[in-house]
Structure 1
Amino acid sequence: MKKWFMLFAALVLFVMLVACNNQDTTKEEPSDDTQENQESTDPNAEMNTDAEIELNFWVFGSAGYETLAEEYMKENPNIKITINAGEMEDMHNNLFTSISAGSGAPDISMIEVSNIAKFMEASDRFYNLYDYGANDVKDSYLEWKWKQAESVDGSFQIGLPTDIGPTTMFYRTDVMEEAGLPTDPVELAAEIDTWDAYYETAKKIKETTGKPITDSPQLMFNAIRDQQQQQYFNENDELIMEDTVKEAYDFTTKMIQEGLIGQNELWTPEWGSAMTDGSYATLIGAPAWMIANVKANAPDAGGKWSLTTIPEGAGNWGGSFLTIPKESEYPQEAYDFIEWLVSPENQLKSFHSNGLFPSAPEVYEDEAFLATTDEYFSGAETARIFAEAAESVQPVYMGINYSIVDSELVTALINVAVEGADPQAEWDAAVDRITRQLERQ
């Protein structure tokens, strides 16, 4: 009986298998589209998470981001970051051409603060970083710095902050000593705490040493202008020059006419040589990154320079942002990288490695950072002085035509200083040229 039972069971199993096989072979095959849909929606389908993503990154200057990028790629092996460095003006021109054509822009681009308003006008060609997490890190940066890359209504953030350029007063200790003035940074700041005091000090230095208090009309003008909350334009891009800007211009030209300011134009060989010669007393309105310029122009003048706070509060000169053009196919990956790159921790690294002054105030609480001194600048506490300056800067709207106005006013100032031109006539002529250019925009 057992033998017959086993044979019967085997027969039943065979019949069932044949029936199932016939059902499978007669079932309608799914279409290619159906197969693809099944594959794409199958939660167990194998996903390729190790695919390499390449991010092209355009930079200018000597930011030193290559080292940090290498560190990020080690932590994120599926990300490859290619850095292309160029001159600032060329890079901005190439970027504007690329986004206008809709072709050739990188995944990430650095933009300098004086150009940010121009690119904000083309914000539809950039990703809004608020859509990728920027609101979560907004409070990590100085408010005035953040606002420089934010739309007026606060809805669009075009870039994450990198470095800043808070302004101070560099000075020659030997010239101050010759004039009978303090050489200690704290004591000198107390002596020159207002622009009126600066003017009186200028007269004293001229009488005792025969030297001007500063050598550049442009720096003198910039130092006062940059302390103002409104400069050339309001937020409606209307020209507003007759109040605070005119006051800065009049103060500067008054000092020029009294022989208290020299004639050197910025970035000229004469301007650089004067840093070595000690032919003036202060480099007024100098930002953090100017330290490198002074050392390069006057390598043997270490110990003859120091720095302290600027009268009546600091301004800002320079600094950049990291943006993501719309052509990038990987906006989230690009954002994740730049958020990491400009985090307080990595801004501190960039300060120590390349002198980029941090825009993240958390860094200002770091004891090692605050203890930073510079023997070239007579052992001054450079990081602390610049940090205090950074926290006193007022937000300012620059506008897309900022450079037009600035260039014409520099021309007027140089004409007054070098050619002895009438200040009011030069002002009127500059305003006329500015107005005509703006009408063509």
Structure 2
Amino acid sequence: MKYMKFLTILLSLLILTACNSLELNTFDNIVQKKPEVKENTQNKNKDAITIWATENIFEGAIEEYRSTFPNKEVKVVIQDMDNLVNIYQESIISGATPDIFMIPNNHLGQFSGIDGLENLKEPPYFEESYFSQYPDGLLRSAVDISGEKMYAMPLLSFPYVTFYREDILEEYGYPTEPKALSHYLSNKENFMRLASRLKENNHYILESEQSILIMLNRSQNYFDSDLQYLGEQGSFKKTIDASILIQENELSPHLNIWDNQGKEALKNDELVMFYMASYGVDLLQSWVPEQSGKWKIAELPFGLTGVEKDSGSSLAISSTSEHKLLAWEFIKIASRQMFSMYSEPREVEFFGGQEVNAIYKDILERGQKGQPLPLDRKAKFLWDVELSEFNYGKEITPESIEQLEKSIFETIRIDQRAIQNMLDNNPSMNESDQ
């Protein structure tokens, strides 16, 4: 499958991505509403499966599906991104669902721990030969908090990576081999040393102090399986601390790589490092074709393992579907086609012949720390508000981050308690942790 086709699909998805309202049923209310046992009116055609999606990216999958099942049809119904979670959850509660839900990965947590979606870890879906083709970390992204239910199959996944000018780092005596560089930058102090040294010659290793916080929010989970907020520990906290230090030490060029000024900074060797999902490999070649052979990619700094949530998506089967096995056959075709972009080695001439898929697959194998949870939506809303204020001039300080975290803890408190009560009162869930 051609990579520019994936890029076109991705850019369409990015345009459609939008924030949902914070107003949402609490987790306690959602899990207590069981799907009604009533006739599914969404798909009366026994020869067709229906998919609810944010964008129709299934042309290739539909073609292959029809060649395998000549008398079967596929209907794709586009849903409103702004109200997607509510539309999906209300359909699950009423039982009037499609056969397949396409779920943007930044909303996966809203479907963890609720009834209404099939468990792909159980028969008739689970096939060792099929699942073994996918990285473990990627598959874990749609496993619910119990650890027992896989409620969706990954469709689109874009690992987050560091893009860097190999020639300039070599000139200043810094590591240039991808693994060596990511190891060096896993240390926050090393990151700051590199930023300070390169700034002396008008080179910058990030667009802005806000950009690494945006990277953090687009590529990381907010909570772990113990319902603990990850922002207070490990790589997540190191990234936040680095953004504060970048601002304090005036090491930011205050750029945006998506506008003309940002692209000009790439061309004049001002911006020599940035962080983006894997689709950046194609974009960078179109932005600065004259710099072919000078760039490389590596894993993220601070020990982060990131996969972009905003552009990724997964597919889930409704428990009220009358075509579950056909839906599963379609999902297998679609996910296999999309993952094929990483299946074979890909040496990119622009990046000096670097084999980029090896790095992507390593990231997907390890996966992100933590997991999607129903708590995510409120945490993301508060982070989005704060990031907007940072972009409009509010300083990133220990105090502003502390206040943000306090707001997150206060906002999720009721849902956090409801989820913990569910775990405490469900022996099968507790057994999965033992």
TM-score (norm 1): 0.69
Mark the CA change 1:300 to 1:84 in structure 2 (over 3 Å): closer, same or farther.
farther
Aligned-pair identity (%) = 20
Q: Tell me the SS of whatever aligns to 2:203.
A: coil
State whether structure 2 residue 392 is matched by structure 1 residue 399.
Answer: no
CA–CA separation in structure 2 for the residues paired with 1:94 and 1:225: 24
Letter in 2 for 1:333: L
Q: Tell me the SS of whatever aligns to 2:161.
A: strand
- What is the number of equivalent residue pairs in this alignment? 364
State whether structure 2 residue 105 is matched by structure 1 residue 113.
Answer: yes
CA contact (8 A) 2:206 2:212 kept: yes
Aligned to 2:225: 235
Aligned to 1:3: none
Aligned to 1:438: 412
Aligned partner of 1:330 among 323, 333, 341:
323
CA contact (8 A) 1:161 1:320 kept: yes
Mark the CA change 1:163 to 1:373 in structure 2 (over 3 Å): closer, same or farther.
same
Aligned to 1:248: 239
Mark the CA change 1:310 to 1:422 in structure 2 (over 3 Å): closer, same or farther.
closer
CA–CA separation in structure 1 for the residues paired with 2:245 and 2:277: 24
Mark the CA change 1:226 to 1:116 in structure 2 (over 3 Å): closer, same or farther.
closer
Q: Tell me the SS of whatever aligns to 1:342.
A: helix
- Shifted more, 248-257 versus 182-191: the winner is 182-191
CA contact (8 A) 1:56 1:106 kept: yes
CA contact (8 A) 2:61 2:333 kept: no
Q: CA deviation at 1:175?
A: 5.3
Aligned to 2:280: 290
Aligned partner of 1:53 among 32, 41, 47:
47
CA–CA separation in structure 2 for the residues paired with 1:173 and 1:116: 36
Q: CA deviation at 1:238?
A: 4.8
- 1:25-36 superposed matches below 5 A: none
CA contact (8 A) 1:216 1:266 kept: no
Letter in 2 for 1:55: I
Letter in 1 for 2:133: S
- 1:194-273 superposed matches below 5 A: 194-208=187-201, 210-221=202-213, 232-239=222-229, 241-244=231-234, 245-264=236-255
CA contact (8 A) 1:233 1:399 kept: yes
CA contact (8 A) 2:103 2:313 kept: yes
Q: CA deviation at 1:277?
A: 5.9
Aligned to 2:134: 141
Q: CA deviation at 1:163?
A: 3.4
CA–CA separation in structure 2 for the residues paired with 1:266 and 1:207: 21
CA contact (8 A) 2:209 2:252 kept: yes
CA–CA separation in structure 2 for the residues paired with 1:86 and 1:267: 28
Mark the CA change 1:328 to 1:413 in structure 2 (over 3 Å): closer, same or farther.
closer
Q: Tell me the SS of whatever aligns to 2:354.
A: coil
Mark the CA change 1:241 to 1:389 in structure 2 (over 3 Å): closer, same or farther.
closer
Aligned partner of 1:386 among 339, 356, 360:
360
Q: CA deviation at 1:423?
A: 0.5
Aligned partner of 1:77 among 58, 66, 70:
70
Letter in 2 for 1:237: L
Q: Which has the higher contact order (CA 8 A, sep 6+)?
A: 2
CA contact (8 A) 2:296 2:354 kept: yes
Letter in 2 for 1:310: L
Q: CA deviation at 1:66?
A: 1.0
- Shifted more, 256-265 versus 64-73: the winner is 256-265
CA–CA separation in structure 2 for the residues paired with 1:439 and 1:300: 50
Q: CA deviation at 1:342?
A: 2.5
CA–CA separation in structure 1 for the residues paired with 2:174 and 2:80: 41
CA–CA separation in structure 2 for the residues paired with 1:227 and 1:412: 17
Aligned to 2:400: 426
Q: CA deviation at 1:235?
A: 2.6
Q: Tell me the SS of whatever aligns to 1:427.
A: helix
Q: CA deviation at 1:330?
A: 0.8
CA–CA separation in structure 1 for the residues paired with 2:304 and 2:413: 35
Higher Cα Rg, which structure: 1
CA deviations over 1:109-149 (Å, ceiling 9, x no partner): 22122211201243x22223324222544433222222222
Mark the CA change 1:398 to 1:156 in structure 2 (over 3 Å): closer, same or farther.
closer
CA–CA separation in structure 2 for the residues paired with 1:246 and 1:189: 17
Q: CA deviation at 1:430?
A: 1.2
Aligned to 2:158: 165
CA contact (8 A) 1:227 1:393 kept: no
Mark the CA change 1:135 to 1:255 in structure 2 (over 3 Å): closer, same or farther.
same
CA contact (8 A) 1:167 1:317 kept: yes
Mark the CA change 1:96 to 1:301 in structure 2 (over 3 Å): closer, same or farther.
farther
CA–CA separation in structure 1 for the residues paired with 2:90 and 2:263: 34
Q: CA deviation at 1:207?
A: 1.1
TM-score (norm 2): 0.70
Letter in 2 for 1:114: N
State whether structure 2 residue 126 is matched by structure 1 residue 152.
Answer: no
Q: CA deviation at 1:108?
A: 1.1
Q: CA deviation at 1:271?
A: 5.7
CA–CA separation in structure 2 for the residues paired with 1:86 and 1:172: 41
State whether structure 2 residue 302 is matched by structure 1 residue 309.
Answer: no
CA–CA separation in structure 2 for the residues paired with 1:272 and 1:106: 43
Mark the CA change 1:207 to 1:242 in structure 2 (over 3 Å): closer, same or farther.
same
Which residues of structure 1 form unaligned runs of 5+?
1-50, 352-356, 358-362, 364-368
Q: Tell me the SS of whatever aligns to 1:391.
A: helix
CA contact (8 A) 1:107 1:324 kept: yes
CA deviations over 1:228-259 (Å, ceiling 9, x no partner): 8xx63343535454333444312221122212
CA contact (8 A) 1:126 1:324 kept: yes
